[in-house]
Amino acid sequence: MRFDVFTLFPGIFESPLKESMLKRAIESGLLEVQLHNIRDYAEGRHQVTDDYPYGGGGGMVMKPEPVFAAVEGVLGTGDRGLGIGDQDAGQSAISNRQSTIPIVLLTPQGRLFNQQIALELAQYDRVALICGRYEGFDERIREHLATDEISIGDYVLTGGELAALVVVDAVIRLKPGVLGDPTGASDDSHASGLLEYPHYTRPPEFRGWRAPEILLSGDHAKVDRWRREQALLRTWRRRPELLDRAELSELDRAFLRQLAHE
């Protein structure tokens, strides 16, 4: 899978892409991250990429010309259905415009990133991510270039680069072959709609705290049921609203009824 990242600060990506799983995914050809410096597409001697906001106020706004030039220069304009109409990112569809390559604007105003959106993006072979800086983007970038807008949380970062890295990391680990354990992502918190069960490793006893005996028992059926119940319990305690959308068996429902009763 290829990510084209448009940024004013490509250096921010260097270290995260050179470590651990992302590094391995790149080395094995499962991940390609192409960094495009928006400044390289700005015209004039000073290659200006930002300007004062119309109407006054503090801060600078990212100019549309270099961002359009960068994205169109790399992706072309052919298959992106430019000009079909305005879009409102909303919380559902990736886009209401034609696009074979999602062009994602990182913005605190976008739809809130979650595992479902990571899964949506993982269906693509190529995704473009545009990182903002300063006060953000000239609105015409949002209206006429981006096909999706993603926020990684209800807080404001200084720039979109860390948000882009979060998206790359969450999406690429869903691609077959990226995780060492092929089933690793399926039990993760949020993958099944529940928070994941607790993990333990050696030693069996640490400072007097024992790992649950059932995990050492070798009885796989019992371990599976224990883990499922722990996941249900944890979700019920910490994020009960997730249970409304989780896929639950009759056994799960009975367990939850018992919890509520107790």
Ligand X SMILES: C[S@@+](CC[C@H](N)C(=O)[O-])C[C@H]1O[C@@H](n2cnc3c(N)ncnc32)[C@H](O)[C@@H]1O
Q: Which residues bind ligand X (CB under 6 A)?
A: 106-109, 131-133, 135-137, 151-153, 155-160, 163
Active site residue 212: no
Give whichever of 41 and 255 is closer to ligand X, judged by the CB atom: 41
Provide the 10 A C-beta neighbour count for residue 201.
8
Give whichever of 31 and 166 is closer to ligand X, judged by the CB atom: 166
Active site residue 173: yes
Give whichever of 64 and 108 is closer to ligand X, judged by the CB atom: 108
Give whichever of 153 and 198 is closer to ligand X, judged by the CB atom: 153
CB of residue 136 to ligand X, shortest distance in Å:
4
CB of residue 53 to ligand X, shortest distance in Å:
10
Angstrom distance (rounded) from CA 120 to CA 92: 11
CB of residue 98 to ligand X, shortest distance in Å:
24
- Among residues 65, 143, 169, 188, the one annotated as catalytic is 188
SS3 48: coil
Active site residue 154: no
Strand segments (E) across the chain: 2-7, 32-37, 50-51, 61-62, 103-112, 126-130, 148-151, 205-206, 209-210
The DSSP line for 226-249 is: HHHHHHHHHHHHH-GGGGGTS---
Angstrom distance (rounded) from CA 126 to CA 2: 5
- Among residues 80, 97, 133, 173, the one annotated as catalytic is 173
CB of residue 153 to ligand X, shortest distance in Å:
5
- Among residues 72, 120, 135, 252, the one annotated as catalytic is 135
- Among residues 108, 133, 149, 161, the one annotated as catalytic is 108
Q: What's the sign of the alpha-carbon dihedral 190, 192, 193, 196?
A: negative
Active site residue 4: no
How does strand 205-206 pair with strand 209-210?
A: antiparallel
Provide the 10 A C-beta neighbour count for residue 243.
16
* Active-site annotation, residues: 108, 135, 173, 188
